[in-house]
Amino acid sequence: MLHSFRELAENYSTIFFDAYGVLKNFEGVLDGALSVLGELKRGGKEIFIVTNDASRSPKKMSRTYLHEELGELFPEDRIISSGLLARDFLRAKVRERTVAYLGKQDSAYYIESAGLIAKPLSECLASDSIGALALLDDEGFDWQPDINRAINLLRQKTIPVVVANADKVYPVHGNAVAVAVGGIADLIESIPDTRFVRFGKPDAYLISYAFSRASALTPGLRRKDILMVGDSLDTDIRGGNKFGIDTVLVLSGNTAKASYQLTIDASGVIPDFICESIST
C-alpha cells in the first residue's frame, strides 16, 4: 500500500517539498532527510521548498538545510514562501508607504523587500497613513491588545489586509499544536466581516508561482514532471491536486499513520501516493 519515496521520486524531474512535517519538525531536520535530499540533488533532480511559513526570509530558511558536502540544499531561490506572494501583492497594490503588521521582526522582511516601511501595529499612531495591514506570523506581538487594535483599525479605514500564511494551526511538539496566523486572521476578519487576501496552500496560486520559478530553470517543464510532497491533506495535497501535479502524502507529520485512510475518506482529498516518510 505504502510506496517507497526514493523509488517514486525517480519518475519526476522536479520535486516540491513542504517543509514542516516533511523535512523537519520542532526538534530540527528529520533523521535521514538531508541524506535523501543530497541523493536527489546528486541524481540531477530540481528540488524546491513550497511553504506557508512567512516568519522569516527564504535566505534565513536556507540555513536550516545544510548538507555536509553539498552545503545549502535549498539556496534562497529554491524556497517559495507564501510570504513572497504577499510581498508581490503589497508592491502592486499598496498606495501609502507604511504597512502595519502583526508578526515577528523577521517576518517584516516580506514588507520591506517590497520597498515599503514595516511598522508593528502596536506602534502605529492614529495619525499614521497606513496603506495595508499584513498578518505575517502568530508570534512577536501581544494577542489581546493587538487583535483588538487590528479590528478597530479595520472599522475605521478601508485598507487591504494580507495574510501571508493561510494555515489555521501548526504542530509544535509531541502531539501539541498552536494557532497559526491564519487562525488569528479568521477571528479578525469575522468581526468587521471584510475579505482578506490570503496566500498559501491550498491555494493553487502558490503552486503556480513555484511552477513559474521551476520553469525558468527547466525550460519546457510539464506538470507531469513534478511531484508535490506534503504531510497535510488540507493544504499540500489539496493545492497540488488542484494545480494538476502528482501528490504524495508522507506520514511523518500532520497525518497519523493509524488513520490516514479515514482522514482521506472524511476529507475527500485524495493523494496520488502515500509514503511513510521521504527516507523510505
Nearer to its own copies, 36 or 83 (CB): 83
* Element (DSSP H or E) covering residue 92: helix 82-93
Nearer to its own copies, 42 or 224 (CB): 224
Nearer to its own copies, 88 or 276 (CB): 88
Nearer to its own copies, 62 or 246 (CB): 246
Minimal distance in Å, beta carbon 178 to its own copies?
A: 5
Beta-ladder partners of 16: 48, 228
Q: Let me know how long the chain is.
A: 280
Cα 110 → chain centroid? 13
> Taking each helix axis from N to C terminus, what angle separates 143-156 and 181-190, rounded to the nearest 10 degrees?
40
Nearest to 48 by CA among 21, 11, 23, 26: 23
- Residue 108 per-residue DSSP state: G
Minimal distance in Å, beta carbon 129 to its own copies?
A: 15
Question: Is residue 114 classed exposed, middle or buried when 0-12, 13-18 and 19+ CB atoms within 10 A define those classes?
Answer: buried
Q: How many CB atoms lie within 10 A of CB 27?
A: 8
Nearer to its own copies, 98 or 279 (CB): 98
Find cell 511559513 and name the residue.
53
Nearer to its own copies, 148 or 218 (CB): 148
Minimal distance in Å, beta carbon 104 to its own copies?
A: 13
Minimal distance in Å, beta carbon 218 to its own copies?
A: 16
Q: Give the contacts of 220 (CB within 8 A, at least 6 positions apart).
A: none
Binding footprint of its own copies on the chain (CB under 8 A): 88-89, 91-93, 138, 142-144, 147-148, 151-152, 154-156, 158-161, 168-169, 175-179, 183-184, 186-187, 190-197, 203-205, 208-209, 223-224, 234, 238, 241-245, 264-270, 272
Helix (H, G, I), strand (E, B) or coil at 145: helix
Minimal distance in Å, beta carbon 209 to its own copies?
A: 8
Distance CA 194, CA 178 (A): 25
Distance CA 82, CA 179 (A): 17
Nearer to its own copies, 124 or 151 (CB): 151
Minimal distance in Å, beta carbon 99 to its own copies?
A: 15
Nearer to its own copies, 56 or 149 (CB): 149
* Element (DSSP H or E) covering residue 118: strand 117-120
* Element (DSSP H or E) covering residue 40: helix 33-42
Minimal distance in Å, beta carbon 158 to its own copies?
A: 5
